[in-house]
Amino acid sequence: MEFFERFAVPHPSPAIYASMVAIGLVMIALVVGLTYFKKWGYLWREWLTTVDHKRIGIMYLISALIMLFRGGVDAIMMRAQLSAPENTLLDSQHYNEIFTTHGIVMIMFMAMPFIFALMNIVIPLQIGARDVAFPRLNALSFWLFFMGAMLFNISFVIGGSPDAGWTSYFPLAGNEFSTSVGTNYYMIALQISGIGSLMTGINMITTVLRMRAPGMTLMKMPMFTWSSFIANVIIVFAFPVLTVALAMGTMDRLFGTQFFTMENGGMDMLWANLFWVWGHPEVYILILPAFGIYSEVISTFSRRNLYGYKSMVASMVVISLMSFLVWAHHFFTMGQGALTNSIFSITTMAIAVPTGVKIFNWLLTMWKGKIEFTTPMLYAVLFIPLFTLGGVTGVMLAMSAADYQYHNTMFLVAHFHNVIIPGVVFAMLAGLTYYWPKLFGFMLNEKIGKWTAWLLSIGFLLAFMPMYITGLDGQARRMYTYSEATGFGPLNMVSFVGSGIMAIGFALIVYNIYYSTRYASRDISSDPWDARTLEWATHNPVPEYNFAVLPEVKSSEALWDAKKKGHVLFKGKYEEIHMPNNSGAPFLMSVIFFIWGFALIFSLWIPAIIATLGIFAFMTHRSFEQDHGHHISVKEIEETETKMRGAK
């Protein structure tokens, strides 16, 4: 019995017990459902073992949406708790656990997989390739992310959630002040999914550098590919820092090392430093692909080529370097001198310049364009003013002297939600709507889509604008309650209402998917948006091999020029296509990673050692494995192509 006590939740509540029951029931329902409908084989063959970049993209997408709801429920609980002074809906411990979980889930398990989803789906199609450079590695990336996310998500019912904030600053996150296994979950779950992200970075860089269709020089790549390429470069240079920091933190917590402690030569502030050495580049990892989506959407629906292509590329290259020069702006108040703060203030303000360049590029693209307000375009148009507001408050925060007033208040919380929601989340939803027909062969409903965009924007303004005000008035972040005398009550109530409206917006997305799946017309062309880039030059949904004949490219808007200037994209006839084989190894190896992580979290050394050996066994097996892939015959290609063309 003693053995099992460690798995108990240290700070339980009826809601947590109810969740345990709910999780149990859902698992049983899944198993029963899969067995009853005889879907195990289908699941294994078509999804768990797939190495197809489109299917991996879809799995990222589903995970991101599920995590969006998980994080969203956390958000609503926090706003409900704060909606009135001295509220007792949540106690302080639960509030701490919830804001920690919310932050991690939203950044690492919602935003990251969402951008990976779009990268996976779009990049190979946009550059005219048949898959990514390392399809098997791609599957491993996904499954590592997925297992990391699942590991993190079970913390609240097994052993207790982390509660030291998504930044997990030491010494609070050390053993002395965080005694439950919660922070172990943080360290190890992030480690596992972080390895996945790093591998995706390497994979996508190689894909972009080596797999482009003939004729597509770097400066002829569509903007989404460019922006994702830069984001992946940042991933490859930033994530190792997180990996190392997490490893050090793990060793402090599990093996008694003293990296981030306050005695024996340890330095607690070093954690904050390393965290943000990764953390600031991370915000650019998120925003750059989002910028890429907006670039595609804005030029498609303005019916114009992107204004200032070269300056767009240049500004992103500058951002990729500069994003590594600003990290200390996250801890201006930690005690370093005025010199350091001034340097980082200036670099931070400077990075707003290339960001501003891009805003002007979009505005000038729309200028004199024939704008068509589809749902993706609506998101893009709403994004511009809302995001600019976030950029402006960013520059306010960048003034180190003034930051002593803003830091750790609701003002900061408003700033980063202001850049992340209209910036990243809107872009992902725009991308989801824009690429939906590419994936599933039908469009999402436009009317519901526009309602969603408006509800999210209005909800966003109501939820976050009040925080700028209460923040300036001194409402601290991460406080679970406040007294009536502070006068924060009414504005927090407004916030709560706003978050409720946003929740309706997010629910509408699911409704839209349901509604469109049932009623939308399947009779759409391969180019329903009248788009400009290569991904729309093949069928919807895309066949396994993407392009029956690899395209030849002459401009950055290959499809548009094919339509308007008569460029010929596809020359030559069908040839046998070489494709990679499916494999169960990535999934199984990630399951072992899950077990490994779980064992480490609870200091179960023997299972941890066995799992480590298992991981090495998989790597050894892979090193000696002979796998030459398979070939799709010309006959099969002809059949598929005729069928796909007939379907329209």
Partner 1 sequence: MKELFPAKQVIGFAFSLLLTVIALAVYFLDMPFAVGMTILLVTAFVQAGVQLKVFMHAGETEDKAAIYTNVYYGLIIALVTIFGTLLAMVWDM
Closest contact distance (angstroms) between CB of 281 and ligand HEM is 11
Of 124, 394, 431, 471, the residue at the interface with ligand HEM (CB under 6 A) is 394
Cα–Cα dist 443/435, whole Å: 9
Q: Answer for the pair 73, 151: CB distance below 8 angstroms, yes or no.
A: no
CA dihedral 587, 590, 595, 597 (to 10 degrees): -160
Site for partner 1 in 511-540 (CB under 8 A): none
* DSSP bridge partners of 577: 632
Taking residue 388's Cβ as centre, other Cβ atoms within 10 Å add up to 16
Q: Does 269 bind partner 1 (CB under 8 A)?
A: yes
Of 148, 171, 423, 466, the residue at the interface with ligand HEM (CB under 6 A) is 423
Closest contact distance (angstroms) between CB of 574 and ligand HEM is 44
Q: Answer for the pair 536, 529: CB distance below 8 angstroms, yes or no.
A: yes
Of 336, 481, 555, 640, the residue at the interface with partner 1 (CB under 8 A) is 336
SS3 at position 262:
coil
Of 99, 362, 416, 464, the residue at the interface with ligand HEM (CB under 6 A) is 416
Q: Which range, of 126-134, 182-190, 279-287, 544-552, touches Cu ion by CB under 5 A?
A: 279-287
Of 314, 321, 402, 613, the residue at the interface with partner 1 (CB under 8 A) is 321
Q: Does 280 bind Cu ion (CB under 5 A)?
A: yes
Q: Answer for the pair 105, 74: CB distance below 8 angstroms, yes or no.
A: yes
Per-position x/- string for 342-381, each x denoting binding to partner 1 as judged by CB under 8 A, each - no binding: -xx-------------------------------------
Of 215, 369, 391, 541, the residue at the interface with ligand HEM (CB under 6 A) is 391
Q: Which of 337, 189, 336 is nearest to 270 (CA)?
A: 336
SS3 at position 116:
helix
Closest contact distance (angstroms) between CB of 103 and ligand HEM is 7
Q: Does 237 bind partner 1 (CB under 8 A)?
A: yes
Q: Which of 510, 516, 539 is nearest to 527 (CA)?
A: 539
Beta-sheet pairing, 577-579 with 630-632: antiparallel
Up-side HSE of residue 249: CA atoms within 13 Å toward CB?
35
Of 270, 399, 469, 497, the residue at the interface with partner 1 (CB under 8 A) is 270
* Total of residues contacting partner 1 (CB under 8 A): 22
Site for ligand HEM in 270-299 (CB under 6 A): 283, 286-287
Q: Does 340 bind partner 1 (CB under 8 A)?
A: yes
Of 1, 339, 485, 606, the residue at the interface with partner 1 (CB under 8 A) is 339
Q: Does 169 bind partner 1 (CB under 8 A)?
A: no
Q: Which residue is nearest to ligand HEM (CB)?
A: 394
* Total of residues contacting ligand HEM (CB under 6 A): 24
Radius of gyration, alpha carbons of the chain:
25
**Which is nearer to Cu ion, 8 or 402 (by Cβ)?**
402
* The residue to which tokens 């029951």 are assigned: 21
Q: Does 403 bind ligand HEM (CB under 6 A)?
A: yes
Angle at alpha carbon of residue 196, lines to 195 and 200, rounded to 5°: 115
Q: Does 348 bind ligand HEM (CB under 6 A)?
A: yes
Q: Which range, of 80-88, 388-396, 449-457, 592-600, touches ligand HEM by CB under 6 A?
A: 388-396
Report the first-to-last Cα separation within the chain, whole angstroms.
63
Q: Does 407 bind Cu ion (CB under 5 A)?
A: no
Of 14, 256, 265, 335, the residue at the interface with partner 1 (CB under 8 A) is 335
Q: Does 325 bind partner 1 (CB under 8 A)?
A: yes
Helices 182-210 + 135-153 axis angle, to 10: 160
Q: Does 267 bind partner 1 (CB under 8 A)?
A: yes
Q: Answer for the pair 418, 454: CB distance below 8 angstroms, yes or no.
A: no
Q: Answer for the pair 248, 257: CB distance below 8 angstroms, yes or no.
A: yes
Q: Does 327 bind partner 1 (CB under 8 A)?
A: yes
Pick what 391 binds: ligand HEM, Cu ion, partner 1, none; C-beta below 5 to 8 Å, kind-dependent: ligand HEM
- The pair of structure tokens assigned to 520 is 């939308």
**Which is nearer to ligand HEM, 47 or 237 (by Cβ)?**
237
Q: Does 202 bind partner 1 (CB under 8 A)?
A: no
Own/partner pairs, 267-273, CB within 8 angstroms, 24+ separation = 268/169, 268/170, 268/171, 268/174, 269/331, 269/334, 269/335, 271/168, 271/169, 271/170, 271/173, 271/245, 272/167, 272/169, 272/170, 272/330, 272/331, 272/334, 273/327, 273/328, 273/331
Q: Does 355 bind ligand HEM (CB under 6 A)?
A: yes
Of 352, 384, 465, 604, the residue at the interface with ligand HEM (CB under 6 A) is 352
Cα–Cα dist 357/84, whole Å: 42
Chain residues that interact with ligand HEM, rule: CB under 6 A: 167, 283, 286-287, 329-330, 348, 352, 355, 391, 394-395, 397-398, 403, 406-407, 412, 415-416, 419-420, 423-424
Q: Which residues bind partner 1 (CB under 8 A)?
A: 209, 233, 237, 241, 267, 269-270, 273, 277, 321, 324-325, 327-328, 331, 335-337, 339-340, 343-344
